[in-house]
Structure 1
């Protein structure tokens, strides 16, 4: 481990073993016990429990106060939560648990989890999934086994980023909220624009359906796909993407059901020419 990280991990009461436990609990267990009233609150309390046991081992009142605080409502992108967890335990390691520190930690959690979710969902969910798994799909479809390693490499990189975030939280402590608060809106907006650009650019690359439908006007044969391309290239892929986005907002619809809807739609569109020919023969 680099010397800088060693310095960051020096705490007043918490040991390196405690910090390692907290990091891996945060990485693997934040979503445990997810529920609608508190969302990640139970998993967050599980994450910081090694710190609470170390700091308030013989202080039952302080332990109850800290545990009640850590089980409050919490919800953010898991990859970004390491910053908040690190700052939280750094504050408790430095100042202990009292009314003022409780308010500071509560303000830190509630003040950062929303903006961090906006940035994290865009970067670590939308952009990351779109890029990593698209590259994986392309390589696998071309018969390259290397494609199977791309998600593994991506996971390793994300784990390293999580560790860096955790160290930033530990080293900054109460400064974290002030350091990020004035820049978070700009960062969220920039990440959102980047995410929309990436996803929008990948629509025509990943959805390559073309309408193989022709009709005759006198002696001239007209191609429906050719006419659509003149109106707007990749109009059909865009329509399919917008349709998917629209139908996901409907009640009882989820991504699994959407897959079956798209399969049925593909079967219909794939046989559009024979269907049209059959309908034409009836008249």
Structure 2
């Protein structure tokens, strides 16, 4: 496949007393009706690196693709001394609208991966002007469902792996090498099934480990031991407020098990789902072309020209 070099611009957007780093990927050949896509990364606190390849949609669909590092991580302002109650979904909803306003974006599509999908749903239930579609990728509708799904997947791990997890979590020794090795076994099955992990994934993970404030405060030490401020989060009872076309995607072996994302499909009017075979939580890294094809088709179906024909 011929590679096309697309223009990329980076800038900083003032947000409160902080700064949010933004990357804008513009298409080489813009499609007149193609609305911009704003991508929300996961974590919280994992930065945009591991979802950077979604920018391929710029060339493939003729639309601008916008990534940004949410405050507290990546190339945005770090706040290691902020109190736990500073880190709320409302903070990141506010940041999103600040970025969108600073860029002068009117109508747009929104895609969120993992925590980013949760954030996307938080944005969508507010019925903001300009939002034309929502893609929720590998995301739970509540942390209670997420924890229950993780427990089911942990039960399928080898006995010695489960024992190591249980012992170290009970003792609070979650940085012990034995515990980290057990965690890696879970990740290779249900987070990213690529061996070795791709560099974009490693880059996001490395920056989180270097500055873990957001991830550790809101989530916890890893994907399945959720003890942070998000542990009681749910959006299930608010999903009926989402008015835009919604696509929910997940991987066959995703740590976001079907029970975790089914409420999105059941409660958002007209929402539909797509499960990618032989993938896990990082579907977009494991099957990037197939992922972008499915997302691109969905976005194009809800660009203005297509909407007018339907």
* TM class by smaller structure: under 0.3
**TM-score of the superposed pair, with normalisation by structure 1:** 0.28
More strand by share: 2
